[in-house]
């Protein structure tokens, strides 16, 4: 191991906070960071939510529910690739400081050649992950987004780091974007789509036509970060979110769309955002946890492990 990597290892937390169990901890032990392909980043950040709240509790509930998962996901065992769970990001302080902490940890994961898997928290978390990838010198990638909302406002309620502005921060950096399942956006966001050449297939096409696979444009980057806001799925699947919108994607449709992208491009990371647990309804915590693991399984089956 080279000296730079040793420094990175020293910066990684070796134990998760007691109230934050490791992902799938009922079945696997915490590997060393260098042994794990998937690196879980719990980010309990909630600052700019504009309707219902509770996303700060999402990461812990997903980790807790993961203890009920089977290692066999129905087609393969993603845990064989190694899953390392980091301590939750410190989400106190100004938005820029929190974004900086997310970016710093993502940077270290990327430099190790590992895959960040962020658990939110509100969707502004995704900008921190993308910034970390860019800071690590990974600048030739695009973002594919499943969401009910376009999140392309330059600022919302005066906040440029709002969950409603996260994709604007990303396209401002020149990162190509493909949006799936959008069904709530304003005129400013429509104009931003045109200005930045954002690709999209909105819910009014995807859902009635039961589109389960997409073909990315030929000039879309060969590497993709995939972000899933759980409100992109229909509220019948995920009512556990602060901004539900009817007419969303189904469970199997979501998995199929992710797989269609993974078969075309290299997935360099993904996240699951905006899960807001509903007390007494643990089924949705389990669903969010299973979604994370299912996406890992698709990565395992479609993409060879990096050498």
Q: Tell me the pTM.
A: 0.94
Q: How far apart are CA 156 and CA 102, in angstroms?
A: 21
C-alpha span between 241 and 230 (Å, rounded): 7
Quick check: helix, strand or coil at residue 276? coil
Terminal C-alpha separation, the chain: 15
275: nearest Cα among 262, 261, 291: 291
**pLDDT (0 to 100) of residue 15:** 62
DSSP-derived 3-state class of residue 172: helix
Distances, alpha carbon 10 to alpha carbons 14, 32, 41, 251, in Å: 9, 11, 17, 39
φ and ψ of 84, to 5 deg: -105, 125
Kindly report, residue by residue over 99-145, the tens digit of the pLDDT: 999 999 999 999 999 999 999 999 999 999 999 999 999 989 999 99
What confidence tier does 13 reach under pLDDT thresholds 50, 70, 90? Answer: low
CB hemisphere CA count around 70 (13 angstroms): 5
Tell the residue number behind the tokens 């078969």, with chain if given: 263
28 confidence band (pLDDT: 50, 70, 90): very high
For residue range 56-112, what is the model confidence (pLDDT) as tens digits? 999 999 999 999 999 999 999 999 999 999 999 999 999 999 999 999 999 999 999
**Fold designation for 3-302:** 3.40.800
């Amino acid at each position: 191991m080279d000296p730079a990597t040793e420094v990175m290892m020293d910066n990684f937390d070796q134990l998760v906070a007691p109230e934050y169990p490791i992902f799938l901890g009922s079945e696997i032990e915490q590997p060393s960071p260098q042994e794990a392909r998937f690196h879980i980043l719990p980010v309990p950040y909630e600052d700019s939510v504009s309707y219902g709240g509770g996303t700060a509790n999402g990461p812990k509930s997903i980790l807790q529910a993961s203890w009920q998962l089977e290692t066999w996901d129905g087609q393969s065992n993603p845990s064989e690739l190694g899953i390392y769970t980091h301590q939750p990001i410190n989400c106190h302080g100004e938005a820029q400081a929190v974004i900086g902490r997310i970016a710093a940890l993502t940077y270290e994961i990327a430099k190790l050649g590992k895959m960040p898997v962020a658990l939110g928290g509100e969707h502004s978390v995704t900008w921190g992950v993308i910034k970390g990838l860019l800071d690590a010198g990974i600048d030739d990638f695009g973002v594919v987004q499943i969401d009910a909302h376009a999140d392309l406002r330059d600022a919302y309620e005066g906040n440029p780091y709002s969950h409603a502005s996260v994709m604007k921060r990303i396209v401002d950096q020149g990162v190509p974007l493909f949006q799936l399942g959008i069904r709530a956006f304003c005129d400013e966001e429509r104009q931003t789509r045109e200005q930045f050449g954002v690709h999209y297939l909105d819910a009014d096409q995807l859902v009635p036509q039961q589109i389960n696979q997409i073909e990315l444009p030929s000039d879309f980057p060969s590497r993709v970060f995939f972000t899933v806001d759980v409100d992109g799925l229909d509220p019948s699947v995920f009512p556990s979110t602060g901004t539900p919108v009817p007419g969303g994607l189904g469970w199997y449709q979501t998995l199929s769309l992710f797989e269609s992208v993974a078969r075309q491009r290299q997935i360099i990371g993904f996240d699951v955002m905006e899960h807001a647990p509903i007390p007494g309804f643990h089924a949705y915590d389990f669903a969010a946890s299973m979604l994370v693991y299912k996406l890992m399984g698709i990565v395992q089956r479609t993409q060879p492990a990096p050498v």
